Amino acid sequence: MSGVGVVTIAHGRHAHLRSQHLSLAVSTCRPDVYVVVAMDDPELDDRPAHGGLAARVLPIETAPLGLPLAAARNRGIDAAFEAGCDVVIALDVDCLASPDLVADYCRLVSTSPDTVWQGPVTYLPPPPAGGYSLATLADLDDPHPARPRLERGETRGDARPELFWSLSFALSGSSWRRSGGFCEEYVGYGGEDTDFGQSLRAAGIDLSWTGDARAYHQYHPVSRPPIEHLDDILRNAKIYERRWGTWPMGGWLEEFERRGLIVWQQDSWVRATC
């Protein structure tokens, strides 16, 4: 295979995006195409090149109900394949690439183009003064415990679709076309990743883990559970239940119920009324 693209979607997080850009620029195998989909963020229109790696910025407007995460991913991945890439890597805007991430994903997709590959992601602690050092990221390597912990060189197939996450994955053009892409009914936070995992299974595309292609998620504060996204999660969970017959994000829904924020009513989760 020849031609590899990296796609990220962004709304804000400009410093994180710049650090990701730098990490890709110093990769052992630099991407041929770097696409940034700017969700209602005109400040990203003019991205400087780093280390000879330029970014192609594609704007997309915010949907009335929130950020169009699924539509933005579709637009970016489509653009990378249309630019002639044979392999496309999707990275969350917060993710830094290890030096071999691009090369590792290219090798895996080239060997198994009918598989969607996911590499380990380490959630980094708050950065020290001066920010993270790309040269010493491996010293902080500690992949997220909710995903299989594989050593370098190991792979594991038949991953559970509900564990798919868009933080870091790679695929071929044929797998992308067969998958149908991300369902654009999902707007705002939650659900679209799990839905895509189910779409892969329905299309007969294997979802596999690799111990290579390691990424590092830059720190930012989070809410547990993400109460600020309650309405998005309820809306998207209903879309998922209609499409697949089960309720996703069960841990969050249970915690919302425990806090009295939602109730089970007429076979559905709804906001609790005072």
- Among residues 76, 14, 69, 9, the alpha carbon closest in space to that of 46 is found at 14
Instruction: Give the DSSP per-residue string, 109-126.
Output: HHH-TTEEEE--EEEPPP
- CATH number of residue 127's parent domain: 3.90.550.10
Q: Identify which has the larger pLDDT, 64 or 102.
A: 102
Report CA 96 to chain centroid distance, whole Å: 12
Does 35 fall in a domain? Answer: yes
Residue-range definition of the domain harbouring residue 58: 4-217
Residues 129 and 158 in one domain: yes
Check if the beta carbon of residue 226 is closer than 8 Å to that of residue 233.
yes
* Mean pLDDT score, 168-186: 98
Residues 185 and 77 in one domain: yes
Residues 255 and 213 in one domain: no
Contacts by 198-203 with C-beta closer than 8 Å and gap 24+?
Answer: 198/161, 198/162, 198/243, 198/244, 200/116, 200/161, 200/164, 200/175, 201/161, 203/178, 203/179
Residues 113 and 242 in one domain: no
Phi–psi pair at 79, nearest 5 degrees: -65, -40
- The reported pTM is 0.96
* Mean pLDDT score, 98-122: 98
Sheet arrangement for strand 56-60: 56-60, 33-39, 4-10, 87-91, 168-172, 115-118, 206-210, 155-156
Residues 86 and 132 in one domain: yes
* Mean pLDDT score, 172-181: 98
106 band by pLDDT with thresholds 50, 70 and 90:
very high
Report the pLDDT value the prediction gives residue 2, as an integer from 0 to 100: 57
- The answer for residues whose C-beta is within 8 angstroms of residue 13's C-beta and 6 or more apart is 93, 94, 220
Check if the beta carbon of residue 70 is closer than 8 Å to that of residue 110.
no
* Mean pLDDT score, 131-139: 94
Q: Which two tokens stand for residue 52?
A: 């000879």
Residues 157 and 250 in one domain: no
Check if the beta carbon of residue 171 is closer than 8 Å to that of residue 117.
yes
Does 12 fall in a domain? Answer: yes
Report the pLDDT value the prediction gives residue 274, as an integer from 0 to 100: 66
Residues 148 and 255 in one domain: no
Beta strands in 145-245 (DSSP E): 155-156, 168-172, 206-210, 215-217
Number of domains in the chain: 2
Report the pLDDT value the prediction gives residue 1, as an integer from 0 to 100: 41
* Mean pLDDT score, 66-85: 97
Residues 263 and 210 in one domain: no
Residues 236 and 173 in one domain: no
Does 222 fall in a domain? Answer: no
Residues 243 and 196 in one domain: no
Q: Identify which has the larger pLDDT, 174 or 222.
A: 174
